[in-house]
Amino acid sequence: MHEYSIAYDIYATARRTALDHHATAVRRITVSFGEMAMINPEQVCFLFGTIAEDDPLLSGAELVYEKAPPRTRCSCGYEGSEIYVCPECGTLPTIVSGKEIVVKNIEIDTGE
């Protein structure tokens, strides 16, 4: 179940960032999931909530996600979203993005 380790990594990243900025609370975390990452974002959100619920700094934090479509590139010059066959030349294009999981934004309260 790699969703758990991803949820934990998001939790740890948010916690570390909050502590580095002397936050009193984490309110919202925005994560981009590449559609080719083979991850269930809803399950990650559920697991994140379970992990964070006992931490006063992150309890109640909202995990919001976006899906990032795949982007491909072919040696013939094609760039687009076709992942199986290049529509220009018929070869297999290279996936250049859409597999990654990125924490894009962490909203915190600093008490100021």
Query: For the chain, how are helix, strand and coil distributed in percent, rounded to 5?
Result: 30, 30, 40
Q: What is the per-residue pLDDT for 1?
A: 56
Q: What is the per-residue pLDDT for 2?
A: 87
Q: What is the mean pLDDT of each run of 10 residues along the chain (112 residues)?
A: 91 96 96 94 96 95 96 95 93 95 95 72
Beta bridge partners of 107: 28
Q: Report if pTM > 0.75.
A: yes
Which two three-digit tokens encode residue 97? 């993005």
Which two three-digit tokens encode residue 30? 């925005």
User: How many Å apart are CA 104 and CA 10, to the nearest integer?
Assistant: 11
